[in-house]
Amino acid sequence: MSVLPLVFTSGWASGVNAYAVVLLLGIFGATGVTDEVPDALQRPDVLIVAGVLFLCEAVADKIPYVDSVWDTVHTVIRPVAGAVVGALLAGQSGSLPDLAAGAIGGSTALTSHLVKAGTRMAVNTSPEPFSNIALSTAEDLGVAGIISFAIFHPVAAAVIAGTLLVLGVVILVFLWSRIRRFRRRRAQRREELHFPGDNPRTPGRKNRPPEAPGKLPPR
């Protein structure tokens, strides 16, 4: 069976939480749940580093604005991780060229990372921190669930990952359109407060009497 669905799913998940992907795949391979995971991901040192970094991300990802800084740092790390995992998975089965699999995993990871980072920046405009915690928890559970599902049903998991990717792009566009509209309205209100005479609907504005047609205004 082609390893492409697993590569695509792991790429999407890597864009959300690359350390969780490496950790889960390594655990599944080391415990004998699947033989699709390459030995490089099952090494104890790889699992320990991935586990520590996963815990760091689990904390940083739930703090407003800290999560955006973390996402900025991982703009390169997550796509590279998706590409490496994809290439390793393809090399393990030999059904896809390593380079092509790396491109698929890396590009999918980059797209899902941009969706996540953009959504987090939009959510950070909210003054309360609970939306960050809820969104981060949902992302962690989603990555864990879809990677586990992909081990046993790779094609179905790839379809779900693709749907989530498209849905994330649509939600991101919607959120940023609403934020731009809100900022324009706030800027207009501030302008009305600072320059009330320039707005005809502002209370207290002194309106000039209409000029008679055909007459020039006095000099």
What share of the chain in percent tops pLDDT 90? 49
**Count helices and strands in the chain by DSSP H and E runs:** 6, 0
Report in angstroms the alpha-carbon separations of 173 from 44, 102, 123.
Answer: 41, 27, 13
Taking residues 15-33, report their average pLDDT: 94
pTM above 0.85, yes or no: no
- For the chain, how big is the Rg over CA atoms in Å? 25
Say whether pLDDT at 162 is over 80. yes
Q: Kindly report, residue by residue over 139-160, the tens digit of the pLDDT.
A: 999 999 999 999 999 999 999 9
Q: Kindly report, residue by residue over 96-105, the tens digit of the pLDDT.
A: 566 777 888 8
What was the pLDDT predicted at 98?
65
Say whether pLDDT at 201 is over 90. no
C-alpha to C-alpha distance for 15 and 80, rounded to whole angstroms: 9
- Residue 163 half-sphere exposure toward CB, CA atoms < 13 A: 8
Report in angstroms the alpha-carbon separations of 166 from 19, 71, 149, 205.
Answer: 23, 20, 19, 49
C-alpha to C-alpha distance for 109 and 76, rounded to whole angstroms: 10
Q: Kindly report, residue by residue over 102-123, the tens digit of the pLDDT.
A: 888 899 999 999 999 888 888 8
Q: Kindly report, residue by residue over 57-86, the tens digit of the pLDDT.
A: 999 998 888 998 999 999 999 999 999 999
Say whether pLDDT at 184 is over 80. no
User: Residue holding tokens 């991300």?
Assistant: 57
Instruction: Quickly state the pLDDT bin for 128 (edges 50, 70, 90).
Output: low
At position 89, the amino acid (one-letter code) is L
What was the pLDDT predicted at 121?
83
User: Residue holding tokens 């004998």?
Assistant: 32
What does the mean pLDDT of the chain come to?
83
DSSP classification of residue 127: S
Instruction: Quickly state the pLDDT bin for 209 (edges 50, 70, 90).
Output: low
Taking residues 16-40, report their average pLDDT: 93
What was the pLDDT predicted at 12?
95
For the chain, domain boundaries: 4-172
